[in-house]
Structure 1
Amino acid sequence: MFFKQFYDQHLSQSSYLVGCQRTGEAIVIDPKRDIRDYIEVAEAEGLTITHAAETHIHADFASGIRDIAAKLNVNVYVSGEGDETLGYKNMPDGTIFVKNNDDIHVGNVTLKVIYTPGHTPESISFLLIDKGGGSSVPMGLFSGDFLFVGDVGRPDLLEKTVQVSDSTEDSAKKMYQSIQEIKALPDYIQIWPGHGAGSPCGKSLGAVPTSTLGYEKINNWAFQAPDEATFTTELTTDQPEPPHHFAQMKKINQYGNEYFKPYIVYPAGDKSLQTFDVRTRNAYHGGHRHGTVNIPFDKNFINQIGWYLDYEQPINLVGDNQTVQDAAYVLQLIGFDLVQGYVKPKDEVISQHVHSKDITGKEKNVLDVRNDSEWNQGHLEQAVHIPHGKLLGTEVPFDTNEPLFVHCQSGVRSSIAVGLLEKKGFKNIINIKEGYKDIGKDV
């Protein structure tokens, strides 16, 4: 049997290629929109991708399940469990909707379907048995967003992204039952999750890419909860706000999207478009065009820019050519194909410099752009709290002509907030250096 994990650091997402070396057949589990890597590896190993399967309708990236069906003419397997109204729509002809205890055969490799709801109503996992290798016992579990290293999938995305009222607690209870069911599997099976650290699909995902069920039973908090009520409270408390693009991902992955097609970004013709500056924070602070929003192109790029994308409106990017091309490609992985142009920093009219300084604690106008849980753990008495992802749609209750001190926890989100506040008309913005974490205890 051939096995390979593909990990995308921008999405904090894992997908998998499994092949039967005797028959030359292969399956892709949870493909992303760009399927070229899977094809390249399969061909190098002498395999043909004949199957593709998905664990659930994803909320954080654009699925490649329809792309792979159309471009490779493979057998596609998706969940037939859960609420039909929330399930897959517009799937390719011949799609197989699998349910609990169904088997998927890829040559001499068998994937047994296990229904594991909680993260989503239709969530399934795949238990792999390598019969071609002479085994009659399972090797591992493709757990999707049900079970992570050190955590389990969040249960609140239906309510927060699809507006299914009062669904969070019910989903948490289903997650508890899924955990109880999975306990019956052997401790030695490997856990192959859909995400790693940095993903907003859970609140405490581990950075190690794989685990074993026995290890998770000992170390994962979800297996330690003494009862359903305790588990539900823990799982539903302090889940981070999902970026706005999650709602778009749910729609795209449930109903379908345009097929992936890479493109080149050329110099911007219309500089009036919403513009994101993908340079480093220090470069942006040194000078930028008024109203451009700084989202550095790093591993947190998607989780930050996802708050501000309008999927009906094209954008420009500021940065060097290669970084802009890379950023545009990564945006395609969340289904956004509307980077219209790029602007080189030297071609910009650099008129705004971010003034950064420490805070004394006596400042009159202070804006805290951290999330709710950070705010609840401590904040400046005079501060007004508006999470950075909600700034564009929220009235900021300060005089636009007066100095405004803005901070987050470490300086990243407050840097983003600068451009947003400029767009709202603020003229004297001071970014608090290094954020709340470095504000003195005496303050």
Structure 2
Amino acid sequence: MFFQRLYHDGLAQASYLVGCQKTGEGLIIDPHRDSTVYLNAAKAAGLRISAITETHIHADFVSGSRELAQITGAKLYLSAAGPAAWQYAFASSSPNVQLINDGASWMVGNLKIEVLHTPGHTPEHVIFLLTDTPVSDQPMGIFTGDVLFVGDVGRPDLLEKAAGVQGASQAAAKDLFTSLQRIKQLPDFLQVWPGHGSGSACGKALGAVPQSTLGYEKQVNWAFKQQNEADFVAAVLDGQPSPPPYFAAMKRINRDGPEPRPQSLPALSLADIKLANRLVIDLRSANDFAQASIPGALSLSSGAMLNRWAGWFVSVESTLILIGTEAEAKTAQTELSMIGIDQIEGFITPDVLAEWCKTNPSQSYQRLPAASLVDQLDQAFVLDVRTPEEYANGHGTNAVNIPLNELPKRMAEIPNDQPLIVHCQAGGRSPIAMSLLKPHFSQPMLELSDGWNGWYELQQEHHI
């Protein structure tokens, strides 16, 4: 048997490739939208992708199952469970789709895949038991999707909070309790392969360890320690963070069937640049962005955090222009497509931006370390855009905490009549905050480039 976990850092999401090396057949579980990842992995392993499946209709990324099935000709296995409003709408018109219910099974070469319906995170959610039949008639592990994670369980409130199904959270939490009780009856020796890791918004406190065993989770996972349904429901719904706005669109896109992702991405000349009704995303470094950019541009440096923050501040309906090198722009196009942001008109290279800035008003601000701002920290409105948990662990005496994801809705709390200093933990999120704030405030604005870390070290050095 071949087994490979394929992890996407930006989504904190795990897909899996399992295959029968004797027959050369392979199965992909929960693929994201970049099909090349799976095609390359299967090729390297000497496998042909013959089957594709997913645990549920995802809310945090665009599924790649449909497109990958079209490319490979593989059979697509999708859950038939759940209410009519949340079943796969494209399944009936797709000849290579097989709907699966609780108790169903199929073979991938000599590997047996068994289906367990486990509602709670979503109504149609299923998990998969994997048995390597030449070795044993007992399953070796379970792909738990978004029902069971390492140290946590999936959130049951997304249909209500993200998709607007009023009153769904309580019923889903009860279903989740029942599903976990069913999973609890499975053998302790089963390996647990979850669909997400630390940083995902599909749970409250997911562990960073890539896999676990069911026996270990029974011992340490808080959810398995809850014996009473009412206590579990209260605990699992308490403190669930607000989901990013793009989650609502993901549920609809994945239910109805996503289209193939766009491939073209033209470089824009000066004459091609049209800013009306376009959102500009600047992919360059924070220092480059601070020195000069197009007014109103959103600073989202290309990297693992790109789509995590784009999901908060960029609508899937937006028409985008990117600023960056061709390599940065193409990487960003792939990453943004993961969360359904497809309407990218083109990209502006740094050289073209420099030419544009010669004849147009550009946006700039100061980005300085804490040591350079020590005399100003007590004379300005200090905005801390970290999470409440980070703020509680240490903060400046006069710093006001507005988490980055809440900033657009809470700008009225920021005065416009005194200097403004913005910081996060280490300088990664504050450029995003500056790009959100700059178009709305006229007073001098400064960014703490080394964040709270630099400020704290300064306090320790000078005993202040």
TM-score under structure 2 length normalisation: 0.85
Decide whether the 8 Å contact of 2:426 with 2:451 is kept in 1. yes
| C-alpha separation in 2, matches of 1:391 and 1:359 | 26
Partner residue in 1 for 2:120: 118
Q: How does 1:175-254 map to 2 (within 5 A)?
A: 175-254=176-255
The equivalent of 2:82 in structure 1 is: 82
Q: Is the 8 A contact 2:265 2:344 kept in 1?
A: no
Are 2:146 and 2:202, in contact at CA under 8 Å, matched by a contact in 1?
A: yes
The one-letter code matched in structure 2 to 1:6 is L
Residue 20 of structure 2 aligns with which residue?
Answer: 20
Moved more, 325-334 or 223-232: 223-232
User: Do the aligned residues in 1 keep the contact of 2:287 with 2:367 (CA within 8 Å)?
Assistant: no
1:338 aligns with 2:328: no
| CA drift at 1:124 | 0.7
Q: Please give the per-residue CA displacement for 1:127-149, whole angstroms capped at 9, x wherever unaligned.
A: 01111x23100011011111112
Give the corresponding residue for 2:419. Answer: 403
Aligned mates of 1:416, 1:392 — CA distance in 2: 11
1:135 aligns with 2:147: no
- Tell me the distance in 1 between the aligned counterparts of 2:191 and 2:143: 9
Superposition CA RMSD, Å: 2.8
- Name the structure 1 match of 2:317: 312
Question: Residue 107 of structure 2 corresponds to which residue in structure 1?
Answer: 105
Q: Percent identity?
A: 40
What amino acid is the match of 2:327? Q
1:414 and 1:36, CA in 2 relative to 1: closer, same or farther beyond 3 A? closer
Amino acid at match of 1:194: G
| Distance in 2 between residues matched to 1:265 and 1:311, nearest whole Å | 20
2:433 maps to what in 1? 417
TM, length-normalised to structure 1: 0.89
SS in structure 2 at match of 1:89: coil
AA matched with 2:365: H
* Structure 1 residues 75 and 330, CA gap change in structure 2 (3 angstroms): same
Aligned length: 442
2:297 to 292, 296, 299: 292
Q: Is the deviation greater in 171-180 or in 142-151?
A: 171-180
Q: How far, CA to CA, are the matches of 2:241 and 2:111 in structure 1?
A: 38
Deviation at 1:96, TM superposition (A): 2.1
8 Å Cα contact 1:368/1:386 also seen in 2: yes
Moved more, 54-63 or 175-184: 175-184
> What is the CA-CA distance between 1:73 and the residue it aligns to?
2.6
- 1:352 counterpart = 2:364: yes
Q: Bigger CA drift: 87-96 or 76-85?
A: 87-96
Q: Is contact 1:111–1:129 with CA below 8 Å preserved after alignment?
A: yes
SS at match of 1:148: coil
Kindly provide the CA deviation profile for residues 64-117 of structure 1, in whole angstroms up to 9, marking residues without a partner as x: 121123222322111112222122212242422212111122232211111112
Q: Distance in 1 between matches of 2:318 and 2:63?
A: 21
Specify the SS of the correspondent of 2:38: helix
User: Conserved in 2, the CA contact under 8 Å of 1:266 and 1:340?
Assistant: no
Q: Which moved more, 1:54-63 or 1:415-424?
A: 415-424
Q: Gaps spanning 5+ residues in structure 1: where? A: none
Whole-angstrom CA distance in 1 between matches of 2:132 and 2:198: 29
Cα 1:52–1:403 change in 2 (3 A) is: same
Give yes or no for contact 1:401–1:428 (8 Å, CA) kept in 2. no
1:366 CA drift (Å): 4.6
Closer/same/farther in 2, CA of residues 429 and 168 from structure 1, 3 Å limit: farther
Name the amino acid aligned to 1:251: R
**8 Å contact from structure 1 (residues 265, 328) kept in 2:** no
Cα deviation, 1:167-222, whole Å, max 9, x if unaligned, reads 22332222222221111111111111111122221222222222211222223222
Cα 1:281–1:220 shift into 2, 3 Å: farther
Task: Work out the CA distance in 1 between the residues paired with 2:15 and 2:173.
Answer: 25
Range 412-421 or range 344-353, more displaced: 344-353
